[in-house]
């Protein structure tokens, strides 16, 4: 259990640092236009987690420990949006389209509402 947590922490730290570097470079190049950095990180993270999903589930080319390091750690630290996409895809792959739609839709709607509520609560 501790070893797994350390793998997640190591991957997450590297993923977070990579996210910061990419977001900052996009923001410096394209300030105030659109959150290109976050968009790029989210899409890149989704592509990466999809590739890793294929390697883990289809070809068994990645060990469980490396999977924790790369999927749970790196991708999770790089962007939680990739984990969101992974979980939505997992529901689709399990032939649960209604649950996938509910998970995706409710996560976006309630996530936006929760962020708005949190902001309003600090504004008095």
Q: Give tens-digit pLDDT for 43-85.
A: 999 999 888 888 887 767 788 899 899 999 999 999 888 888 9
Model pLDDT for residues 78-110, shown as the tens digit of each residue: 988 888 898 999 999 999 999 999 999 999 999
Candidates 121, 87, 92; CA nearest to 107 is 87
What does the alpha-carbon distance between residue 48 and residue 77 come to, in Å, rounded to a whole number? 13
What does the alpha-carbon distance between residue 88 and residue 101 come to, in Å, rounded to a whole number? 8
Judged against a pLDDT cut of 90, whether residue 21 lies above it is answered with yes
Judged against a pLDDT cut of 70, whether residue 124 lies above it is answered with no
- Choice between 60 and 29, residue whose per-residue pLDDT is larger: 29
- Choice between 54 and 8, residue whose per-residue pLDDT is larger: 8
Give the DSSP letter of residue 121.
H
pLDDT of residue 103: 94
**Angle, CA of 16, 41 and 19, to the nearest 5°:** 20
pLDDT of residue 38: 87
What does the alpha-carbon distance between residue 53 and residue 68 come to, in Å, rounded to a whole number? 12
pLDDT of residue 36: 85
pLDDT of residue 47: 92
Judged against a pLDDT cut of 80, whether residue 25 lies above it is answered with yes
Number of neighbours of residue 54 by Cβ within 10 angstroms:
12
Which residues, other chains included, contact 24 with Cβ-Cβ below 8 Å and sequence gap of 6+? Answer: 37
- 65 Rama class: left (phi>0) / alpha (psi -120 to 50) / beta: alpha
pTM for the predicted model, two decimal places: 0.78
How buried is residue 77: exposed, middle or buried, by Cβ count under 10 Å (0-12/13-18/19+)?
buried
> Would you state the structure tokens that stand for residue 78, as one six-digit string?
């790089």
């Amino acid at each position: 259990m501790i070893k797994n947590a350390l793998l997640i922490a190591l991957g997450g730290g590297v993923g977070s640092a990579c996210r910061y570097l990419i977001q900052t470079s996009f923001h410096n190049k394209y300030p105030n236009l659109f959150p290109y950095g976050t968009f790029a990180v989210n899409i890149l993270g989704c592509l990466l987690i999809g590739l890793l999903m294929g390697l883990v589930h289809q070809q068994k080319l990645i060990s469980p420990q490396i999977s924790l390091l790369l999927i749970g750690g790196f991708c999770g630290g790089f962007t939680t949006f990739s984990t969101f996409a992974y979980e939505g895809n997992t529901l689709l792959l399990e032939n649960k389209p209604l649950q996938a739609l509910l998970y995706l839709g409710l996560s976006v709607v309630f996530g936006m509402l929760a962020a708005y509520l949190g902001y309003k609560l600090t504004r008095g």
